Amino acid sequence: MSDGRKVVKVPIRSLEEYHFRFDTGKQKHAGQGQGGTKEGDVLGSDKKQAGPGKGKGAGEEPGVDYYEAEVTIDELAQLIFEDLGLPNLQQKKKPELASEALEFKDVRKKGISSNIDRKRTIMEAIKRNALKGRKGFQNITRDDLRYKTWDITYKYESNAVVMAMMDTSGSMGPYEKYIARSFFFWMVRFLRTKYQNVHIVFLAHHVEAKETTEEEFFTKGASGGTRCSSVYQLGLDIIQKRYSPEDYNIYAFHFSDGDNLTSDNEKCVKLVNELLKVCNLVGYGEIEGPYYYTSTLRNAFKKIKDPKFTSVGIKGKTDVYPALKAFFNPHPQTRT
């Protein structure tokens, strides 16, 4: 999807209406016994049928009909991101962050059927009948139809910067990196789909942290040990140098397998508390891979009681979207 393939084919199985089926296979069925049997005796059974397309050789059984619907990534993204938004947005000095909004401004006699204005259409029909001396609402003619039209406007909000932090140490295997990159792929797409001017900073770390390009962030691997405090310290340094909390809404999201140096955990807690002083939200996602241990960084973060800190655990691919919803809940009071 990210390398130019913009269309996903989604198989949609057809649904049949309820109806009786009368032995379509014309197989012999078990019936009433002829006597002389004892309790527990098997009187008969149906022959097991292989499923469609199964068994040796070419099958004779009919298959299941289904349709293929082509869905573009943009359409899919619009559905996924409908209820997501940056939480705790505050008014800052420079309102440069813009998001698209639809504003209905006009009513016309021509348009598409989905935009018909029912109330105005009925009022036009009543008005036309009244002018001809007929009371009440009667037939609607083509001249009575009224359609709503809209213009795309921009809702300006305060600046925002999002820091994407990812663990690339040796303990992050292919599965863990796949989950982390999946989350950040959809996060980046959400931000660029819904907001016109949001800054995204990509930070990768093992024992040391560094700022990378977007391409390196999603493709380049690393190895070595893990010191998560390095990425939190780098994030604080970048905020101090480039993104003043007076001018920006700041968000930081970190994904790791939680396998951190035990001696570094206390420092991580301290630095995350420092980030919470300047950030609107700090999110931590921990990937529970096949070699997941209970004494992880997430357990150390249980000491943090700030409502602006959100921690989630991810066990599989199906947990990526719930993590997006947990981090990008525009109504923090309903956060779970």
pLDDT tens for each residue of 250-297: 999 999 988 888 899 999 999 999 999 999 999 999 998 776 666 689
250: exposed, middle or buried (C-beta count within 10 Å: 0-12, 13-18, 19+)?
buried
Give the pTM: 0.63
Across 121-139, average pLDDT: 83
**Of the candidate ranges 30-44, 85-99, 128-142, the one whose mean pLDDT is the lowest:** 30-44
pLDDT tens for each residue of 205-246: 988 999 999 999 988 877 778 889 999 999 999 999 999 888
At 184, the pLDDT band (50, 70, 90 cuts) reads very high
CA 217 to chain centroid, in Å, comes to 20
CA 46 to chain centroid, in Å, comes to 46
**CA distances (Å), 18 to each of 15, 22, 62, in order?**
9, 13, 18
Between CA 13 and CA 96 the distance in angstroms is: 46
Across 105-132, average pLDDT: 81
Tokens of residue 87, six digits: 């939480």
**pLDDT score at 336:** 39
Residue 14: other Cβ atoms inside 10 A: 8
Across 45-51, average pLDDT: 55
Query: Pick the residue with more confidence: 95 or 162?
Result: 162
Count CA atoms within 13 Å of residue 79 on its CB side.
5
At 94, the pLDDT band (50, 70, 90 cuts) reads low
Domains of the chain, residue spans = 1-14+66-82, 101-155, 158-334
Across 149-156, average pLDDT: 67
**pLDDT score at 334:** 44
Closest CA to 252 of 228, 266, 232: 232
Average pLDDT value over all residues in the chain:
79
**SS3 letters across 261-285:** CHHHHHHHHHHHHHHHHHCCEEEEE
Q: Which residues make beta-bridge pairs with 8? A: 71
Tokens of residue 57, six digits: 């050789």
228: exposed, middle or buried (C-beta count within 10 Å: 0-12, 13-18, 19+)?
buried
Query: Pick the residue with more confidence: 198 or 1?
Result: 198
Q: What's the CA dihedral at 86, 91, 93, 95 to 10 degrees?
A: 60
For residue 132, give the amino acid letter. K
Determine whether domain 158-334 maps to CATH 3.40.50.410. yes
Across 99-112, average pLDDT: 70
Residue spans of alpha helices (H) in the chain: 73-80, 118-131, 174-194, 214-219, 229-242, 265-278, 297-300, 320-327
Using DSSP bridges, classify how beta strands 281-287 and 309-314 pair: parallel, antiparallel or unpaired: parallel
**pLDDT score at 26:** 60
For residue 318, the SS3 value is helix
Angle between helices 174-194 and 73-80 (to 10 degrees): 90
Residue 308 above 80 pLDDT? yes
**pLDDT score at 192:** 85
Count CA atoms within 13 Å of residue 89 on its CB side.
21
For residue 89, the SS3 value is coil
**Of the candidate ranges 41-55, 147-161, 230-244, the one whose mean pLDDT is the lowest:** 41-55
Between CA 160 and CA 84 the distance in angstroms is: 15
Considering only CA atoms, give the Rg of the chain: 30
Give percent of the chain above pLDDT 70: 70
